[in-house]
Amino acid sequence: MALVEELLLQPTSRSILFGAVLILLPIAYLRASRSNSQGKGKEPPGPKPLPILGNLLHLDLKRPYISLFSMSKQYGSIFTVYFGPKKVVVLAGYQTVKQALVNHAEEFGDRDITPIFTEYSQGYGILFSNGENWKEMRRFSLSALRDFGMGKKGSEEKIIEETCYLRDVFEQFKGKPFDTTQPVNYAVSNIISSIAYGSRFEYSDPLFKDMVTKSNENVRLIGSASIQLYNMFPWLRSWIKNRKLILKNRENCIKQINGLVDRLQQTLNPLDCRGLVDCFLVRKQNAEESGEKNTLFHKQNLLYTVANLFGAGTDTTAATLRWSLLLMAKYPHVQDRVQEEIDRVVGDRQPVMEDRKNLPYTDAVIHEIQRLANIVPMSVPHTTSCDVHFQGFFIKKGTSVLPLLTSVLRDENEWEVPNTFNPAHFLDKQGRFVKRDAFMPFSAGRRVCVGESLARMELFLFFTSFLKHFRFTPPPGVSEDQLDLTPAVGFTLSPSPHKLCAVSRNA
């Protein structure tokens, strides 16, 4: 089996594993039976689980979102599935996900911190923390991001500057095929770096390249089948190679961020903060000087908050931009229409955010790329903060909840042709841009993406800059039909490895 090969278990280890399963099987079965019998109401339906294994045999661990979306067709918009012995409630479809995350935001607003994320973040930072730590770090991060231009002219200028550096890289390939992964990742990483540290990095900087590479590798590894198994059966930790690599990468990234923070500390001026890190250091210093006990503004929270912003702020936006180039190459008639609109409205100057209202088709294309790309198909797991009665079902406090975002972005009740790339989803009959309630790529409610407005600005400015200056085509000998839209395996969905040609339109 591929999963066993991925675990790389030796014969002796297999015997130990098999013995452990035999011992734990009856214990888990009795526990599950006792738990079900003590319920306070009707629980959501779902496929019958096996002891220990749960519904493991029903799941494609490399692409579980597909399995879960299929199950929703049979069991409805709210159902129970067992990831090994762990009970998980899945929310499917726009109406149900919105009702849970927005209308019942408090009840469904906590983070379910799986074993790999428990080890990875240790309760620090924003993404994988709860309670006061999460509230304080999120509040601080939102405030600091806004202070340094998120959604404002300040970050617009940073992004426009970065589009020029990235354009130079694309030009160097002179229209020949190249992999867009690294240059796009570097450009997007530099936006959050400039906000966090107050300055950007050169694409050739070895430290920067290593940080970006390891961060992106971890996002890919966290979505691997072996890590899904580890989250189900934490006692497998010693045999999971990917777990060891993830934690090694994490350790290296934290050391690198620590070095950058220490350098900023040496030249810190409380009256002139250069970025988010400086703001945090000032808050930390003030807390120490006032003798504040149990302050959350300590070094570990700083390191993991920056790591969260760096990782989340790079991977999702960069993946969306790479999908945008691939889709333009695959659908040249859409690319033609985008470029005609940009040429007519923008002319010879640099596109700016103010142009968006006059570029309805381009805006619709960007939104449709996000919808079809489906970057975070299962969101990040939530957990119930209390016992919940929801849509006629009882969900116990502490139950893991998966808002299946792929079922929102592909909801047949909300989208005319949900499985087709169709910018008309965001246009009215007069060709004007229209918002759609079921457009939820950043999730919703209390845990909505902290950098949503920054990401929206990046997507618009990078995409319009790309299309203004380049024509994207498949490599010679490859037709549009041969471009593969199957996503790579990972926690987020990036395009599978491919090359494109960026042909200058100014030649």
Domain containing residue 306: CATH number: 1.10.630.10
Question: Around Cβ 502, how many Cβ atoms within 10 Å?
Answer: 26
Give per-residue pLDDT as tens, 403-435.
Answer: 999 999 999 999 999 999 999 999 999 999 999
Give per-residue pLDDT as tens, 436-453.
Answer: 999 999 999 999 988 899
Work out how many domains the chain is built from and give that number.
1
Q: Which residues contact 6 (CB under 8 A, 6 or more apart)?
A: 224, 225, 226, 241, 242
Half-sphere exposure at residue 84, Cβ-oriented, CA atoms within 13 angstroms:
17
Q: What is the pLDDT of residue 3?
A: 41
* Average pLDDT by stretches of 10, the chain with 507 residues: 39 42 45 48 94 94 94 97 96 97 95 94 93 95 83 81 96 96 96 93 96 93 93 93 95 96 96 94 93 91 94 90 98 98 96 97 98 94 96 96 97 96 97 96 91 93 97 96 93 95 89
Q: What is the pLDDT of residue 147?
A: 82
Q: What is the pLDDT of residue 507?
A: 60
Q: What is the pLDDT of residue 6?
A: 40
Q: What is the pLDDT of residue 152?
A: 65
Q: What is the pLDDT of residue 293?
A: 82
Q: What is the pLDDT of residue 27?
A: 44
Boundaries of domain holding 230: 2-504
Asked whether the beta carbons of 77 and 91 are under 8 A apart, the reply is yes
Hunting for tokens 């790079």 — which residue is that?
Answer: 314
Q: What is the pLDDT of residue 294?
A: 86
| 172 CB burial (10 A radius; 0-12, 13-18, 19+) | exposed
